[in-house]
Amino acid sequence: MSLDDLPAGTTAFVDSTILHYALVQFEPSTGQCIRFFERVAKQDISACLHIPSLNDAVHKVMCSEAVVRFQRPRAGLVRWMKENPRLVRRLVLASDLLNVVSALPLQMLAVDHVVLVEAQKIVASHGLLASDALIVALMRQQGIVHLATNDDDFDRVDGITLWKPRSPQTS
């Protein structure tokens, strides 16, 4: 379902893609992601995330900024960034992302060993990668059923409602 259609009063877990697209121009998703966070700021909806998702968003934002700022292709980008720390120091959008997150009433959920063990069971049962399985395990532990994401891998997980920054025709 479209991210714009998330009902008022809903609590949703925020995947890194939503944070990334809110800060880095990625049409048609950026507008919906910005509107999502405007609703969070007004407390029309509640949102939560965990440090691994935030860190993943920081990484994605750094990579996107490097592509634009240094006119680099995505292929081999991480290796190029590791080889050019002097240029990586010039990237600023990740700090902007952290400032935005700090200003919003987002709940930061803690990950413990129990959730990590449960995540591995989800890997085995659904074939998700570890980072996505961790999100599902944490959502289940916290009783959260709504997920704001642009990741289609979650489509194969029962018991969660996905809200994606896409037009209704592509959801």
Measure the CA–CA gap between 141 and 136, rounded to whole angstroms.
9
pLDDT at 26: 86
pLDDT at 115: 97
Angle (CA) 63-64-65 rounded to 5° is: 90
- This prediction's pTM: 0.93
pLDDT at 27: 83
pLDDT at 28: 83
Please state, for a pLDDT cut of 70, what percent of the chain lies above it. Answer: 97
Each residue of 7-37: pLDDT tens digit?
999 999 999 999 999 999 888 899 999 999 9
71 burial type by CB count under 10 A (0-12 exposed, 13-18 middle, 19+ buried): exposed
Give the confidence band of 170 by pLDDT, cuts at 50, 70, 90.
Answer: very low
- Answer whether 23's CB lies under 8 Å from 62's CB: no
pLDDT at 166: 83
pLDDT above 80: residue 109: yes
pLDDT at 167: 65
Give the confidence band of 42 by pLDDT, cuts at 50, 70, 90.
Answer: very high
- Answer whether 107's CB lies under 8 Å from 80's CB: no
pLDDT above 60: residue 92: yes
Please state, for a pLDDT cut of 90, what percent of the chain lies above it. Answer: 94
- Dump the DSSP string for 10-22: -EEEE-HHHHHHH
Mean pLDDT, residues 150-157: 96
